[in-house]
Chain A
Amino acid sequence: AQKVTQAQTEISVVEKEDVTLDCVYETRDTTYYLFWYKQPPSGELVFLIRRNSFDEQNEISGRYSWNFQKSTSSFNFTITASQVVDSAVYFCALSEAGDDKIIFGKGTRLHILP
């Protein structure tokens, strides 16, 4: 069965600090897809990134970066030089090939303090 674990329920950091959000997943499939979504205080869920299981290259997008490691079944998300606008709940998610469902983790609530 597929599963996504975000062990950090809530994190608070001071603005400009770097912060890493952890995500560990479980799946028996060799082909799968990993996602990160952001849910700001306004409530909508915003897609951030998708990775497939065959691409372990790390990805950087501005202040955001993602570290995918199959050896540890992890797909961690780092925000560099955090800003108050980064305050949100962040969800990691997993989808197996052939299954249209996305399984979401419980989310990590991130507070960036000014």
Chain B
Amino acid sequence: DAGVIQSPRHEVTEMGQEVTLRCKPISGHNSLFWYRQTMMRGLELLIYFNNNVPIDDSGMPEDRFSAKMPNASFSTLKIQPSEPRDSAVYFCASSEFSSRNEQYFGPGTRLTVT
């Protein structure tokens, strides 16, 4: 069974450009999570979905960030316009619906905004 798939693995873009990160969760998992990891702030939860519905987006830094989950097998995290401080590794994770179940992480997307 394939794990969580993220694309692209690396993204380098210029400040002001739009960036779209993609995630395919593990088939059958009901919950999907977007995290951001930086040296300064560690691993931060940005937003999560249950059954394709956004439940908690309190971790989204500002209006420049948006996330969608149009169906059970696909989610996007968009940054528009991007800024250098958005440079980080962005992880997507999925789990079976319930806090007692472990989350499985994708390989991450390393974003560099110059």
Q: Which residues of A contact B (CB under 8 A)?
A: 33, 35, 37, 43-47, 50, 52, 91, 95-104, 106-107
Contacts and interface: CB of A to CB of B under 8 A. Distances in A.
**Nearest 6 A/B pairs, CB to CB:** A45-B105, A95-B99, A104-B43, A47-B102, A106-B42, A100-B99
B102 to A, nearest CB: 5
Nearest to B106: A44
Given A43-B108, A102-B99, A91 B43 contact: yes
B50 interface: yes
B31 A100 contact: yes
Given A44-B108, A45-B91, A104-B43, A35 B99 contact: no
Given A91-B43, A100-B50, A44 B105 contact: yes
Nearest to A105: B42
Given A44-B108, A97-B99, A104 B56 contact: no
The CB with the most chain B CB atoms within 10 A, among A43, A46, A47, A100, is that of: A100
Nearest to B43: A104
Contacts of A43: 89, 107-108, 110
A102 B45 CA distance: 8
A27 B1 CA distance: 35
A30 B103 CA distance: 21
Nearest to A102: B103
Given A33-B99, A50-B100, A100 B107 contact: no
Given A100-B55, A101-B56, A107 B42 contact: yes
B100 A33 contact: yes
15 contacts: A43-B107, A44-B107, A45-B91, A47-B103, A47-B105, A95-B100, A96-B99, A97-B99, A100-B48, A100-B95, A100-B98, A101-B48, A101-B99, A102-B103, A107-B43
B63 to A, nearest CB: 22
The CB with the most chain B CB atoms within 10 A, among A37, A46, A102, is that of: A102
B104 interface: yes
A96 B98 CA distance: 10
